[in-house]
Amino acid sequence: MDLERNVVLGELTIKDVTHPVELKVMAVREYLDEVGAKMLRCRAIGTVNRRTFGVAEDASRSEGLARFIAEIQEGLDEFIEDDVEISVHVVARAN
Protein backbone atom coordinates (compact mmCIF):
# COMPACT_ATOMS: atom_id res chain seq x y z
CA MET A 1 0.00 0.00 0.00
CA ASP A 2 1.41 3.38 -1.03
CA LEU A 3 -0.14 5.66 1.60
CA GLU A 4 1.71 8.69 0.25
CA ARG A 5 -0.37 8.37 -2.93
CA ASN A 6 -3.30 6.74 -1.10
CA VAL A 7 -3.41 3.76 -3.47
CA VAL A 8 -3.30 -0.01 -3.27
CA LEU A 9 -1.69 -1.80 -6.21
CA GLY A 10 -2.45 -5.45 -6.80
CA GLU A 11 -3.96 -8.07 -9.03
CA LEU A 12 -7.64 -8.90 -9.31
CA THR A 13 -8.86 -12.27 -10.57
CA ILE A 14 -12.40 -12.71 -11.86
CA LYS A 15 -13.50 -15.84 -13.72
CA ASP A 16 -9.88 -17.12 -13.86
CA VAL A 17 -8.70 -13.89 -15.58
CA THR A 18 -6.12 -11.78 -13.71
CA HIS A 19 -5.22 -8.14 -14.36
CA PRO A 20 -3.43 -5.47 -12.33
CA VAL A 21 -5.62 -2.95 -10.52
CA GLU A 22 -5.02 0.31 -8.71
CA LEU A 23 -7.50 1.19 -5.98
CA LYS A 24 -7.75 4.52 -4.18
CA VAL A 25 -7.65 4.17 -0.39
CA MET A 26 -10.64 5.95 1.08
CA ALA A 27 -10.30 5.11 4.76
CA VAL A 28 -7.68 3.57 7.03
CA ARG A 29 -8.32 2.99 10.71
CA GLU A 30 -6.14 1.36 13.34
CA TYR A 31 -7.71 -0.02 16.51
CA LEU A 32 -7.39 -2.71 19.15
CA ASP A 33 -9.75 -5.69 19.05
CA GLU A 34 -11.46 -7.25 22.08
CA VAL A 35 -8.28 -9.14 23.12
CA GLY A 36 -5.97 -6.17 22.58
CA ALA A 37 -4.53 -7.20 19.19
CA LYS A 38 -3.65 -4.33 16.86
CA MET A 39 -6.05 -4.23 13.88
CA LEU A 40 -6.10 -2.29 10.61
CA ARG A 41 -9.28 -1.66 8.63
CA CYS A 42 -9.03 -0.33 5.08
CA ARG A 43 -11.51 0.56 2.32
CA ALA A 44 -10.39 1.10 -1.27
CA ILE A 45 -12.32 1.78 -4.47
CA GLY A 46 -11.53 1.69 -8.16
CA THR A 47 -12.94 1.01 -11.60
CA VAL A 48 -12.41 -2.06 -13.76
CA ASN A 49 -13.72 -2.99 -17.19
CA ARG A 50 -15.92 -6.06 -16.74
CA ARG A 51 -15.29 -7.26 -20.30
CA THR A 52 -11.52 -7.33 -19.64
CA PHE A 53 -12.29 -10.05 -17.10
CA GLY A 54 -14.72 -11.90 -19.38
CA VAL A 55 -17.83 -10.79 -17.52
CA ALA A 56 -20.20 -11.09 -20.44
CA GLU A 57 -22.11 -14.24 -21.18
CA ASP A 58 -22.21 -15.98 -24.54
CA ALA A 59 -25.59 -17.70 -24.65
CA SER A 60 -24.52 -19.91 -27.56
CA ARG A 61 -22.01 -21.68 -25.27
CA SER A 62 -24.57 -22.54 -22.58
CA GLU A 63 -27.38 -25.07 -22.23
CA GLY A 64 -30.67 -25.32 -20.33
CA LEU A 65 -31.14 -22.91 -17.44
CA ALA A 66 -27.60 -21.55 -17.89
CA ARG A 67 -28.45 -20.63 -21.49
CA PHE A 68 -31.68 -18.93 -20.37
CA ILE A 69 -29.75 -16.87 -17.80
CA ALA A 70 -27.05 -16.04 -20.37
CA GLU A 71 -29.70 -14.84 -22.83
CA ILE A 72 -31.15 -12.55 -20.17
CA GLN A 73 -27.70 -11.17 -19.39
CA GLU A 74 -26.98 -10.60 -23.08
CA GLY A 75 -30.18 -8.57 -23.24
CA LEU A 76 -29.07 -6.53 -20.22
CA ASP A 77 -25.58 -5.87 -21.62
CA GLU A 78 -26.77 -2.70 -23.34
CA PHE A 79 -27.92 -1.37 -19.95
CA ILE A 80 -24.84 -2.35 -17.94
CA GLU A 81 -21.76 -0.16 -18.29
CA ASP A 82 -18.48 -1.87 -19.21
CA ASP A 83 -16.61 0.09 -16.54
CA VAL A 84 -17.83 -0.83 -13.07
CA GLU A 85 -16.78 0.48 -9.67
CA ILE A 86 -15.44 -1.99 -7.15
CA SER A 87 -15.02 -1.52 -3.44
CA VAL A 88 -12.67 -3.61 -1.28
CA HIS A 89 -12.84 -3.79 2.50
CA VAL A 90 -9.85 -5.33 4.26
CA VAL A 91 -9.36 -6.09 7.95
CA ALA A 92 -5.91 -7.27 9.07
CA ARG A 93 -4.49 -8.29 12.44
CA ALA A 94 -0.87 -7.61 13.41
CA ASN A 95 1.20 -10.66 14.44
Domain of 14, CATH number, reads 2.40.128.110
In a domain, 1, yes or no: no
- Please tell me the predicted confidence (pLDDT) of residue 64: 64
pLDDT digits (tens, 9 = 90+) for 26-64: 888 899 999 999 998 889 999 988 778 777 655 555 566
What is each CA distance from 87 to 23, 58, 64, in whole angstroms? Answer: 8, 27, 33
pTM of the predicted model as reported, rounded to 2 decimal places? 0.58
* pLDDT attached to residue 87: 84
Distances, alpha carbon 75 to alpha carbons 52, 66, 70, in Å:
19, 14, 9
Residue 91, phi then psi, degrees to nearest 5: -125, 125
Q: Is residue 79 part of a domain?
A: yes
What distance in Å separates the CA atoms of residue 36 and residue 55, rounded to the nearest whole number?
A: 42
Q: Per the structure, how many domains does the chain have?
A: 1
Domain, as residue range, for 81: 7-93
| 52 lies in some domain | yes
Mean predicted confidence (pLDDT) in 59-86: 65
Output the pLDDT for position 38: 92
2 occurs within a structural domain: no
